[in-house]
């Protein structure tokens, strides 16, 4: 059985660039870009803000990991993941500098 990574939303990186990174790291995964495709081969889901509820996640019986390319977990059904031993990761400080710069910029613009 092939192992698959499902990309649920646009990540801000080109498909080619992402797939090249997977190949360069010699990861044995096929990348799927169709969020409507359920598959028993999907082991990893990469998401941004799309709601990943129990109904959606049940379509992937071999799911092992969800990577949220965002700061929070509120889009993921964490109870379902815990019950099914699915690891969930996020990017906790990816925009810290940008938020700080925006706040200062708005403060001095008045």
Q: How many CB atoms lie within 10 A of CB 67?
A: 18
Please tell me the chain's helix, strand, coil percentages from 3-state DSSP, rounded to the nearest 5: 30, 20, 50
At 108 the pLDDT is 79
pLDDT at position 107, please?
Answer: 76
Which residue carries 């200062």 as its tokens?
Answer: 104
Taken in order of first residue, the domains within the chain and their CATH numbers are: 4-108 (3.40.50.720)
What is the rounded average pLDDT for all residues in the chain?
85
E-assigned strand segments in the chain: 4-7, 30-32, 42-47, 65-68, 87-90
pLDDT band at residue 109 under the 50/70/90 scheme: confident
pLDDT at 96: 59
Give the per-residue pLDDT at 35: 81
Element (H, E) at 16: helix 15-24
Written as six digits, the tokens of 64 are 């092992």
User: Each residue of 24-55: pLDDT tens digit?
Assistant: 888 888 888 888 877 899 999 999 888 999 99
């Amino acid at each position: 059985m092939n192992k698959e990574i499902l990309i649920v939303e646009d990540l801000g990186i080109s498909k080619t660039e992402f797939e090249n990174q997977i190949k360069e790291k010699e990861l044995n995964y096929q990348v799927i870009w169709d969020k409507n495709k359920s598959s028993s081969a999907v082991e990893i889901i990469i998401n941004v803000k799309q709601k990943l509820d129990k109904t959606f996640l049940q379509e992937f019986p071999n799911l092992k990991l969800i990577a949220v390319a965002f700061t929070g977990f509120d889009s993921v059904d964490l109870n379902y993941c815990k019950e099914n031993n699915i690891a969930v990761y996020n990017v906790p400080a990816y925009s810290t500098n940008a938020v700080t710069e925006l706040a200062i910029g708005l403060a001095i613009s008045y």
